[in-house]
A and B are shown apart, each in its own frame.
Chain A
Amino acid sequence: MTKKSDSHIFVSRRSFIANSLGLACLGVGSYFISNNENFRGKTLDAASRWNDSVQSVIFSPDKLAPTYNLRDITSPFPSNLFYPHTYAPDLDHSAWSLSVSGRTIHKAPITLQELRGMPQESQITRLICIEGWSAVGQWSGVPLRYLLEKIGADTNNTFVRLDCADGYFTSIDVASAMHPQTLLALEFLGKPLSREYGAPLRLRIPTKLGFKNAKYLTGISVHKTQQGGYWEDQGYNWFGGL
């Protein structure tokens, strides 16, 4: 390096004032955004909607979630209800049926017996929670795609909503619903779902975050408009894709 000092710097008055004003605007702007409840909500909402659209573009209907071996299964597997376990619905399996509504041809409720008679698939996949933790489990049940085709669901840019016995609900885009790994799970670890894990029927969708995997299902419906969800309406990103 040459030892020739060029230490004379220069900031013009105009540039100093312009830059100071720029900084002040940035500061006041950030302060306003982070403190104004309404503006903050709208900005963050807009970013979340943008995030939804990017995700639906990124989503590939043929891309399979990684599958694992029996020895990879997490034990004990977290049940992760959002309320104390004693409040978990205890449903009478013989009286239970899945209601069907919205944009479908057939609307007859589906019994547990009928679901057990449909083609079954099994998967060992990773459930990833929005909180950050993940766990590998084994689920078996009816591919949602099979059921949607059977009830004659409108699958042209629609949304599938799932309602639960505990008041929980969620909705997913129809492309994710038709994904080959999306199951209406009847079994966990080779045995019928226990009360803790969502008996008698839950959604298992390895291409979405944990909160989309609704437990204690009571109804399925198909809609033209996005239906939100229990957590989604409180601010979690709606698409929630992995």
Chain B
Amino acid sequence: MESGRVPIYALWLRICHIVHAFSAIMLMSSGWAIYNADPLYDFLFPKHISLGLYLTEALRWHFLLAWILLLTSVIYSVSRLVLNLGGPSIRHFSLMSILDTLYNAMRFSLFYRRGEYNPLQRLMYTGIFILSLMLVFSGVALWKPVQFNLLIDMFFGYEVVRHIHFWLMIVLFCFLIVHVCMILIHPSTLMNMIFGATRKKLDSNVKESKP
């Protein structure tokens, strides 16, 4: 790295991101195969996008990946939500600032500053870490309804948890679609997160990532 430049995302965060992305997508896919064994609703997921030819294999994939997602979710939550490390700040968003961002976005005059998130992004990324954790918790509840029956009670019973786990997956899926669309609109963000682009160090009197 050249002197005077800092990476927009730390290396460990970029590794965590790609591992999290891979496991989340494969967890969804194997989850669809598991769903198909006893559908909650009146439809099935197409076989060719469901990971695991049989329920046995789908479950084995799901539990291998669940351990990986648990690890990356913990790293993400601690570093981003609690310590606010590794990349642009996701803290400080108010309702007014989010509405302002939405208004500007609709006028196509959204100002983008490299290495910083706008209030809407801060809200979205805070939300996705919380969603990840809720997916993990509802999954653990389904896995251990006897040992962790408090978790089951928190989610209003075993059968309810199945529906919650399903709908959290739907929300994650929607997030993924929006996330990928935003990358297509701003391909340079792929450089930041995947290829570790660096940016000039900000002036010392401009504190990093505080609006």
Binding site for B on A (CB under 8 A): 1-12, 15-16, 19-20, 23, 26, 30, 43-45, 47-48, 50-51, 58-60, 63-66, 126, 128-134, 206-207, 231, 234-237, 241-242
Contact = CB atoms under 8 A, between A and B. Distances in A.
A10 B188 CA distance: 11
Given A10-B197, A11-B198, A44-B60, A133 B67 contact: no
Interface string B105-141: 0000001011110100000000000000000000000
Interface string B12-44: 000000100010000000000011011010000
Given A5-B113, A132-B37, A235-B57, A63 B147 contact: yes
A2 B80 CA distance: 23
A45 B192 CA distance: 36
A167 to B, nearest CB: 19
Given A5-B114, A10-B2, A51-B63, 14 more contacts: A8-B114, A9-B192, A11-B195, A11-B197, A19-B194, A19-B196, A59-B147, A64-B146, A65-B146, A66-B149, A231-B56, A235-B56, A241-B147, A242-B146
A232 B168 CA distance: 30
Nearest to A51: B63
Contact of A26 (B8, B18, B146): B18
* Interface hub of A8, A16, A26, A235 (most chain B Cβ within 10 A): A235
Contacts of A10: 2, 5, 197-199
B158 A128 contact: yes
B1 A15 contact: yes
A15 B195 contact: yes
Nearest to B115: A6
Given A12-B1, A26-B18, A50-B67, A207 B146 contact: yes
A132 B60 contact: no
A203 to B, nearest CB: 16
B60 A47 contact: yes
Interface string B48-64: 00000011110111011
B38 A129 contact: yes
